[in-house]
Amino acid sequence: MRHEGKTEARLGRIRGSEPPRRHNARTIAALTSNPGCARRAVLDAAGVDKERLAARVGFPAAFGQSQFAIVRGNAFEKQVKADGCAELLRLLRELLGLDLEQATYRDLGAGETGDSLHPRHAAARAQLAGAAEGARPTVFDHPLLRLDIAGQEVYLEPDLVAFQHGGAFHVVEIKSFPVIDGQADGEKVAAAAIQSAVYVLALRRLLGRADAVSHEVVLVCPKDFSNVPVATTIDVRRQLLVLEHQLARLTRIDTLLDALPDDLTLDLAENGAGGPVVTAEALTGALGRVAARYAPGCLSTCELAFFCRREAAGRTATLGAGVREELGGVETIDEALGLAHGTLAPDEERAEAAAMLRTAARVYAEGLQAASAAVPPAPVALTADGEPAAPPGAGAGP
Amino acid sequence: MSAVEAYARLLAARAGAAQPVASVRHVHLSERPLVLVPLTMAGEANAPLAALVGTDERAPALLVVGQPRDRALRFAFASELAGILLAHVERCAAAGTEPVKPPKAAARQQPATAPAGRGAGRAGAAAGGLGGAPAGADAAGTGEQGTDGPGADWEAEAAPEPAEPVRFLDAPQVLVPNRAGIDFVRLFGRSTRFRATTGEHAVPAAVPVLGRWLTYLAGRAEHPGSASLVAMTEALTLHWATGQSALEDANLAALMAWIDPPAGLSGPEAALLAEDPVRWPPAGPATDPQFDNRVLAPAIRAYDAAAAGQAGSGGGDERLGEALAEIQRVARTQLEPTWRLMWRAVDRLRALPAAASAPRRWERDRARFTAYYSYLRDSDGGLPQARRDGAVAAARRLGALERELAEYEADRAFDDPLVLAGHRVTGEAFVGTVVGADRERRRPNERGSLVTRPLVQLRTVDPARLATGTRVRSPARPGQTGVTLAVEPADDGFLVVLELSGGMGRSKVPPPGSVPKVGETLAYTSLLVEGAFSAGLPAPEDTPWTHGGPPSPYEPAEQDARELWE
Ligand code: SF4
């Protein structure tokens, strides 16, 4: 049973007097890249401005976009959408082999119904569902979508185009990174694919049918070194699977909130006198009450990364998932070194990891010794407690 | 990521300083490498903004593009860069040549892939080349196929008759800060190599030649162990482990902070400072967005205004000069810190002794360089590399890359006990003490005649995981191969029984010292250089139609020269 009013009020208290930040496909994609992080889930649900929060607690994030990139991105999108998406329709015609003579363009943007979300979403739903019955091919611009994230309804303000023909929809993403000789920056394509998958999912939920929206999304990018747009389809089935799986894994926001003190607030507003409503120390304290799960990937996806990284200092997770795995999942650097040097006795669960770590420590020490002697390696005598007689690392680097 | 590297990261985190994961330098370093630090303009398709480049730390050349959206200015930048890179290429080619040993049987397959007519034409033309005929230089006995870069086709075809094969003594080495720097080289090569130097869309003469060389370098960079184009962050992480993640290591300043922190600072302290884009501008090619918005944008606007004024009134050279000087100044602020870091990194790497097999890998770079250099001079060579490989060329290329990777890993383990350590944890290598040796053992071979095959037994505490029949070799006895007859658990570790062959001379009884003695400690690894040769692929001209048929050689096309770049 959902207590929407109660949850909303609670999230409102956390956010304080600031206007809420809205989710978008990028933030949802980021959310699912670290689904175990309650901190991010709560902050995003409450619509807290994470960038400003990070700056307030003394860990400003280096996010931000160059105006050159913004200008170019906007210009390209405008070009593709000019004259009722004439260019886009031409590309779709070629790509999908369709007869689109009759195609029409509908802008479902904020202009028509004002800025309010509910009516806009309702309008989008009516328009898209109507079109699904089968009408003329139509390009829908800016449809407002809705997705359930951790038990909370989230509106998606998309810069997306949904293209309908014969009752089936394609999601179209316009991106300004180039496709050169049929290849594009892998990271950028991956990001575009997961974002498109968010839209596909939201569109499917809106229409209530999975088969109404194709898993092939259309990516429109500049070709080679020019401004000429080129369209490619990408199959986002894998991303959809990941996304649905991760969204299902997101703990319900109510459950997360239940674990938090009732008076928790991260209000970033200023009081009448120009001072903060909540001091930086209080903000830091409040953040600390919400459990995080830092991983180096956060550095490129979350504004709070520098804060969380500092907080996670000493944990093997800060060294990266690959390293943590190599270390048999041992939580902290001290523990791992203790097991490696035999100063910490492993419990049964970590016996295997400990054996591996001890071997790693031994062969590393022998390797160093062999290298410095420049002769074939010789076994190193172990002291009574199992620590190599010449502990590596004592030399503090090269 | 091996367990030893993971462990070294733990140690680094505790010590607050990077820890070695290599004891020798696995990357060849030229005496005078060409360091290139490029910057691009955000949002554009690899549009150059500025670069510091040169072989002398104290005298870099600064190249800037006043308005990076201006096509003509981009090609002016390319022309300047060409001047520097091509001079570097010529210097390497002028350093002299050495004769190449006659190719072994394996290498002989490859010239056969050249269609006879073309091959003959080439052999003749090559004679006019520099210092005789550096053509046919790839006969290094490595069996490497023509596999460089996007465009292996041309190279397979260009494989010439080894008439008087020689190899240049030096080859260009270009160092860029990071992987994105390699991408810059590849894309800048792509955007310049097809240009025409005559006609309506003419660009300066050196531009398409630059494009070919950049493409060549980017192609080499895909080959494991090649040192022609090196990303500094990758060269460094091959030798040191930091107490941060691989993601953070990709930032050259943060990586160097752990390896070589300024006096008075620990690695993590210095790394934190290195993440401040104001203090340590990003190593490129992407610029700091704040720099773009606050500093660069106004400078470019001033340049545009000055250029417009000049176009309007015909005068205003001085204003344009000032505006350009300002862009040069701000570009320098973004480039110089990285420039200094690059040379500090070179110094750190140079301080390590070169790995035993590094010269052999560099020899391959020199061979490829020689081959490409003569191809460009050849009267009917010199075409730009194709946009894409044909199917067979691509398969060949992948096969070659796999083989080179296996070789490179085996080489490094052989050359370096710290690298070997990583394989000891996984059980692919072990270090043990000889506890038994039967030097005089003889047994019948497959044909029934008696051969000398000594046995040694080694005790190891390493978790040796070697299947019976695995071939192993010891860095201390490279000429001798062992085959595991048994690996049995023995108190605290394993007893490994090896049957040895090779490295014992011809006499019936191996001379003393040619077989390990009881009490000796030896390392053995199952990573061996002579990886299996990949299954034979058809020659490019025999590509089946199912794979696209024989590739058509690149034909210069009018639209390539005209290609938009806006
Ligand atoms: S940076 Fe912090 S809040 Fe953001 S996802 Fe990572 S752990 Fe969660």
* Count of other CB atoms within 10 angstroms of residue B217: 29
Question: In the CATH scheme, what is the code of domain B427-531?
Answer: 2.40.30
Q: Which residues of A touch B40 (CB under 8 A)?
A: none
Cis amide leading into B478 (omega within 30)? no
Tell whether B526 lies on the interface with A, counting CB pairs under 8 A: no
Q: Once rounded to an integer, what is the mean pLDDT over residues A242-257?
A: 83
B359 C-alpha vs ligand 1 centroid, how far in Å?
Answer: 46
What are the contacts of B262-269 at 24+ separation with CB within 8 A? B266/B16, B266/B17, B267/A397, B267/B12, B267/B15, B267/B16, B267/B17, B267/B18, B267/B242, B267/B243, B268/B13, B268/B16, B268/B243, B268/B244, B269/B16
ipTM for this prediction: 0.86
Tell whether B480 lies on the interface with A, counting CB pairs under 8 A: no
User: A306 is written with which tokens?
Assistant: 């520098």
Beta bridge partners of B525: B429, B473
Ligand 1 pocket (Cβ < 6 Å) reads: A 34, 37, 39-40, 292-294, 298, 302, 304-305, 308
Find the closest chain A residue to B521 by CA distance: A378
* Count of other CB atoms within 10 angstroms of residue B136: 26
Residue A133 predicted with pLDDT over 50: yes
Distance separating alpha carbons of residues B200 and B69, to the nearest angstrom: 20
B122-177 per-position pLDDT tens digit: 333 333 333 333 433 333 333 333 334 434 334 433 344 444 488 999 999 999 99
**Residues in Cβ contact with B10 at an 8 Å cutoff, skipping those fewer than 6 apart:** A316, A319, A327, A333, A336, A337, A340, B243
Q: What is the pLDDT of residue A134?
A: 59
Distance separating alpha carbons of residues B543 and B424, to the nearest angstrom: 43
**Sign, CA torsion B503/B505/B509/B513:** negative
Of B41, B40, B54, B45, which is closest to residue B83 (Cα–Cα)?
B54
Among candidates B14, B277, B476 on the partner chain, residue whose Cβ is nearest the Cβ of A333: B14
C-beta of residue B335 within 8 angstroms of C-beta of residue B62: yes
DSSP B472: E
β-strands A216-222, A168-174 pairing: parallel
Most confident of B104-113, B283-292, B305-314: B283-292
C-beta of residue A215 within 8 angstroms of C-beta of residue A201: no
Cβ of B462 within 8 Å of Cβ of A363? The answer is yes
DSSP letters, B236-257, are HHTTEE-SS-HHHHTSHHHHHH
Q: Which residues of B touch A396 (CB under 8 A)?
A: 15-17
Cβ of A376 within 8 Å of Cβ of B475? The answer is yes
Among candidates A68, A222, A359 on the partner chain, residue whose Cβ is nearest the Cβ of B41: A68
Place of tokens 């008076």: A263
B239-278 per-position pLDDT tens digit: 999 999 999 999 999 999 999 999 999 999 999 999 988 8
Q: Once rounded to an integer, what is the mean pLDDT over residues A292-312?
A: 93
- Residue B438's SS3 state is strand
Distance separating alpha carbons of residues B515 and B511, to the nearest angstrom: 8
Domain boundaries, chain B: 427-531
Interface of B with A in 418-447 (CB under 8 A): 418, 420-421, 424-425, 431, 433
**Sign, CA torsion B308/B311/B313/B314:** positive
Residue B410 predicted with pLDDT over 50: yes
* Count of other CB atoms within 10 angstroms of residue B69: 17
How distant, in Å, are the alpha carbons of A78, A219, A231 from that of A222?
A: 13, 10, 9
The 3-class SS string of B81-127 reads HHHHHHHHHHHHHCCCEEECCCCCHHHHCCHHHCCHHHHHHHHHHHC
Average pLDDT, chain A: 83
Pick from B7, B278, B296, B474 the residue to mutate for testing the A interface (most A CBs within 10 Å): B7
Residue B110 predicted with pLDDT over 50: no
Q: Please list the alpha-helical segments (H only) found in B277-316.
A: 289-291, 297-313
C-beta of residue A36 within 8 angstroms of C-beta of residue A321: no
**Which one is predicted more confidently, B506 or A387?**
B506
End-to-end CA, chain B: 41
Q: Residue B35 is inside which H or E element, if any?
A: strand B34-40
β-strands B19-20, B240-241 pairing: antiparallel
Q: Once rounded to an integer, what is the mean pLDDT over residues A242-255?
A: 82
Closest approach of chain B CAs to the CA of A284, in angstroms? 20
Place of tokens 């990941």: A242
DSSP A104: E
Beta bridge partners of B20: B240
Q: What is the pLDDT of residue A90?
A: 87
Interface of B with A in 537-566 (CB under 8 A): 563-566
pLDDT band at A35 (very low <50, low <70, confident <90, very high): confident
Pick from A174, A308, A356, A363 the residue to mutate for testing the B interface (most B CBs within 10 Å): A363
Residue B335 predicted with pLDDT over 60: yes
Interface of B with A in 176-205 (CB under 8 A): 187, 190-191
Reported pTM? 0.86
Among candidates B45, B248, B421 on the partner chain, residue whose Cβ is nearest the Cβ of A364: B421
Cβ of B16 within 8 Å of Cβ of A396? The answer is yes
β-strands B471-474, B477-490 pairing: antiparallel
- Residue A108's SS3 state is coil
Closest approach of chain A CAs to the CA of B4, in angstroms? 5
Phi, psi of B77 (to 5 degrees): -60, -45
Phi-psi region of B492 (alpha: psi -120 to 50; beta: other; left: phi over 0): left
List the beta strands (DSSP E) in B102-220: 166-168, 174-176
DSSP B509: S
- Residue closest by Cα to atom 2 of ligand 1: A308
**How many contacts (CB atoms, under 8 Å) link A and B?**
203
User: B368 is written with which tokens?
Assistant: 């490829």
Q: What is the pLDDT of residue B261?
A: 95
* Count of other CB atoms within 10 angstroms of residue B253: 22
* Count of other CB atoms within 10 angstroms of residue B106: 12
Distance separating alpha carbons of residues A395 and A178, to the nearest angstrom: 48
**Buried b / exposed e across B330-364, counting CB within 10 Å, b at 16+?**
bbbebbebbbebbbebbebbeebebbebbebbbbb
Distance separating alpha carbons of residues A150 and A249, to the nearest angstrom: 8
B412-458 per-position pLDDT tens digit: 999 999 999 999 999 999 999 999 999 889 999 888 888 889 999 99
Find the closest chain A residue to B272 by CA distance: A306
Q: Please list the alpha-helical segments (H only) found in chain A.
A: 4-15, 25-33, 38-46, 50-56, 67-96, 110-113, 117-132, 186-207, 237-249, 253-258, 280-289, 298-301, 305-311, 321-326, 333-341, 351-373
Distance separating alpha carbons of residues A19 and B93, to the nearest angstrom: 66
Dihedral, A299, A303, A304, A308 alpha carbons, nearest 10 = 0
Among candidates B4, B190, B247 on the partner chain, residue whose Cβ is nearest the Cβ of A363: B4
Residue A113 predicted with pLDDT over 60: no
- Residue B451's SS3 state is strand
Interface of B with A in 350-389 (CB under 8 A): 351, 387-388
C-beta of residue B110 within 8 angstroms of C-beta of residue B145: yes
Give the range among A17-21, A364-368, B12-16 with minimum mean pLDDT. A17-21
Distance separating alpha carbons of residues B42 and A72, to the nearest angstrom: 9
**Sign, CA torsion B39/B42/B44/B45:** positive
